[in-house]
């Protein structure tokens, strides 16, 4: 049976190509808001971090009605680090809207998400967005998209994709650039006519694949997924097929369907519907809710493995417990393992130490979002420098390689090439455009990208754009020098003084200003040279009866460099940790005592280590 009253689609694209803004327009034109109702931009980005950063982190469900047809829409993240969100939600849909910026064209994440959609044999509709940009080049972009489909091995049917031109910001769609666009009707019509309707056995035994989880204060955990076969009703007895194949019995509480931005309780739902169900408290992503007498599992998409790892441990600095609400190893462990319930790309492992946990993810942003979320929830802990995960293939060491795409004004091309050479980047393509910019494409080890973004923005004076996505594992490319500057390390505990900081700032850039509490071993700045230097930033000027001609001149301190969480993670050396609390982030040495660090360094020199 075919459900012609429903269409299930996902919006996929590179970050910042306009998915969430387009959903805003679709929601508004479907008539769910009053004419005079004030509506925020990026309605779907409800998470606080999403609004701050302007990116989508979590996949979300909504639904609109058009000509009596319900269109279930899944808004997916565009950043490569949240690819796990994209991979699993694609199992809920029959087609995708591939959004491509009319100026930027296909980007690294465009390739990634399109490859996943094509491998699942989903029907694509190509949406060339931002046609109102002054530098838009829609026809060239269509050629680039076509080449991308061919490169990814798309079938003849998939290559014959419909094209719609849009300005998501103005909520306008066109079949042709010369058309007069007034609304999104051409986009709605293309979805109805091109995306296949759900097809399956409505009368067969129930199969519902759980692809997402949510939580409600009143009914507890909600399992979200698409009904592959049969129907489901509130109060129904079911079997839950676990990922390891075991079967447990359960009972459905309430069945919810999506209507615009709300979950609405429904008596039942049929094959093809995307629903949320309550009543099964220990349900997990990837499990199947099935008929009580026919517990058949639905195959779940395989999520790609993590490429980056770091350690999370309880805070043991002299300031431990002063600013956080949750500070013990039990708090930390419970929170990390709870994250596994919804963050399918994450891995958490216990270590030999009860206070330290190994956490692995898809990239630095993936892990930094988790860190930022936890600190806002009141957790206090410390993390190590991110490291790539190596693989052993036939006795050889393999490492993750990424496609790095950089757009820079031609005048900065030289410095970019110069900096990426020692990072083992291999130039594979160079494309100039008529705007004075040049696009450089590299294959580069994930190690080579770590710590480079801040340097890149400085070198290009903020005019450069860089994007990257994981390709595969390749043989180890050799040693990469990660940092050219050492740390300025506080040599004693106390409160920073203007006099002490003035002496220290001659050595490099400071991270702290006067009147800040510091402890021995805390990193207070970046040295101009490669080695670490211990500095006394709490030093006070001795009072004497002698006066010099400049004694009364005010000491001028440069403004301290305030590091963001990502910049602090990029700065970390192998022998340093990042102390994270709800109020502060501090870089520190793993060994706080200056004397103990010198002792260890002496032993390493004697044993021939560097």
Cβ contacts of 317 within 8 Å, gap of 6 or more: 382, 519, 522, 579, 586, 588, 592
Q: How many Å apart are CA 426 and CA 403, to the nearest integer?
A: 10
Torsion of CA 221, 226, 227, 229, to 10 degrees: -140
- Using CA atoms, how far apart are residues 45 and 382, in angstroms rounded to an integer? 29
DSSP code at position 199: B
Rounded to an integer, what distance in angstroms lies between the CA atom of residue 210 and that of residue 430? 43
Helix (H, G, I), strand (E, B) or coil at 273: coil
Cβ atoms 406, 442 nearer than 8 A? yes
**CA dihedral for 472, 473, 474, 479, sign (positive or negative):** positive
Closest-CA residue to 307 (of 80, 57, 565): 80
Nearest alpha carbon to residue 110 among 78, 156, 73, 142:
78
Q: Which tokens in the block code for residue 213?
A: 């989880």
Residue 128 annotated as lining a ligand binding site? no
Q: Which of 203, 126, 197 is nearest to 165 (CA)?
A: 126
132 annotated to bind ligand: yes
130: annotated binding-site residue? yes
Known binder of ligand: residue 129? Answer: yes
Residue 566: half-sphere exposure toward Cβ, Cα within 13 Å:
13
Give the max Cα distance, the chain. 98
3-state secondary structure of 599: helix
- Please report which helix (H) or strand (E) contains residue 419, including its range: helix 413-420
Q: Is 244 exposed, middle or buried (0-12, 13-18, 19+ CB in 10 A)?
A: exposed
Q: What is the CA radius of gyration of the chain?
A: 27
Number of C-beta neighbours around residue 575 at 10 A: 15
CA distance linking residue 343 with residue 241, whole number of Å: 20
Give CA–CA dist 113/97, Å, rounded: 11
- How many whole angstroms separate alpha carbon 245 and alpha carbon 410? 56
Displacement of CA 398 from its chain's centroid (Å): 24
Kindly state the DSSP code that residue 296 receives in the 8-state scheme.
Answer: P
User: Is residue 16 part of an annotated ligand binding site?
Assistant: yes
Burial string for 122-150 (b: 16+ CB within 10 Å, else e) reads bbbbbbbbbbeeeebbbeebbeebbebbe
Annotated ligand binding at 352? The verdict is no
Known binding-site residue numbers for GTP: 16-21, 129-132
Known binding-site residue numbers: 16-21, 129-132
């Amino acid at each position: 049976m075919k459900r012609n009253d429903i269409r299930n689609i996902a919006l996929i694209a590179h970050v910042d190509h306009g998915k969430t803004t387009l959903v805003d327009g679709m929601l508004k034109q479907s008539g769910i808001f009053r004419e005079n109702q004030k509506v925020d931009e990026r309605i779907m980005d409800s998470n606080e971090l999403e609004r701050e950063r302007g990116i989508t982190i979590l996949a979300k469900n909504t639904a609109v009605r058009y000509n009596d047809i319900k269109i279930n829409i899944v808004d997916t993240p565009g950043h490569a680090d949240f690819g796990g969100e994209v991979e699993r939600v694609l199992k809920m849909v029959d087609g995708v809207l591939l959004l491509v910026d009319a100026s930027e064209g296909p980007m690294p994440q465009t390739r990634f998400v399109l490859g996943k959609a094509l491998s699942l044999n989903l029907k694509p509709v190509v949406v060339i967005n931002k046609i109102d940009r002054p530098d838009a080049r829609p026809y060239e972009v269509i050629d680039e998209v076509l080449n991308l489909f061919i490169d990814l091995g798309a079938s003849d049917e998939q290559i014959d994709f419909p094209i719609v031109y849009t300005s998501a910001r103005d909520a306008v769609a066109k079949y042709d650039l010369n058309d007069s666009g007034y609304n999104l009707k051409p986009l709605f019509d293309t979805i109805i006519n091109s995306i296949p309707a759900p097809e399956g056995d409505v009368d067969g035994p129930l199969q519902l694949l759980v692809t997402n989880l949510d939580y409600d204060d009143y009914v507890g955990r909600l399992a979200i997924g698409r009904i592959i076969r049969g129907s489901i009703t509130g109060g129904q007895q079911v079997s839950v097929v676990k990922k390891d194949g075991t079967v447990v019995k359960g009972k459905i509480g309430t069945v919810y369907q999506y209507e615009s931005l709300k979950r609405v309780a429904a008596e039942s739902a049929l094959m093809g519907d995307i629903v949320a169900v309550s009543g099964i408290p220990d349900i997990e992503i990837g499990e199947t809710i099935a008929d009580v007498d026919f517990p058949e599992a639905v195959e779940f998409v395989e999520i790609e493995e993590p490429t980056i790892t770091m350690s999370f441990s309880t805070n043991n600095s002299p300031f431990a417990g002063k600013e956080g609400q949750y500070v013990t190893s039990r708090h930390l462990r419970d929170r990390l393992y709870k994250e596994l319930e919804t963050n399918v790309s994450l891995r958490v492992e216990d270590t030999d130490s009860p206070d330290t946990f190994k956490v692995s993810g898809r990239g630095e942003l993936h892990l930094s979002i988790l860190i930022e979320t936890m600190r806002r929830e009141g957790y206090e802990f410390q993390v190590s420098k991110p490291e790539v995960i190596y693989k052993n293939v036939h006795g050889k060491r393999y490492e993750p390689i990424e496609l790095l795409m950089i757009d820079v004004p031609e005048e900065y091309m030289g410095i970019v090439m110069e900096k990426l050479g020692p990072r083992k980047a291999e130039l594979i393509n160079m494309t100039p455009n008529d705007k004075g910019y040049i696009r450089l494409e590299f294959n580069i080890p994930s190690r080579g990208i770590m710590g480079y973004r801040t340097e890149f923005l400085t070198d290009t004076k903020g005019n450069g754009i860089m994007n990257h996505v994981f390709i595969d594992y390749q043989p180890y490319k050799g040693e990469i020098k990660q940092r050219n500057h050492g740390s300025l390390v506080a040599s004693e505990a106390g409160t920073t003084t203007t006099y002490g900081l003035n002496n220290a700032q001659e050595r490099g850039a400071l991270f702290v200003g006067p009147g800040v509490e510091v402890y021995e071993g805390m990193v207070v700045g970046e040295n101009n040279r490669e080695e670490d230097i211990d500095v006394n930033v709490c030093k006070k000027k001795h009072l004497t009866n002698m006066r010099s001609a400049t004694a009364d001149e005010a000491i001028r301190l440069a403004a301290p460099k305030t590091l963001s969480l990502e910049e602090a993670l990029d700065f970390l050396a192998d022998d340093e940790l990042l102390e994270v609390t709800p109020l502060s982030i501090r870089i520190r040495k793993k060994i706080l005592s200056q004397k103990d660090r010198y002792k260890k360094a002496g032993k390493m020199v004697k044993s021939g280590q560097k």
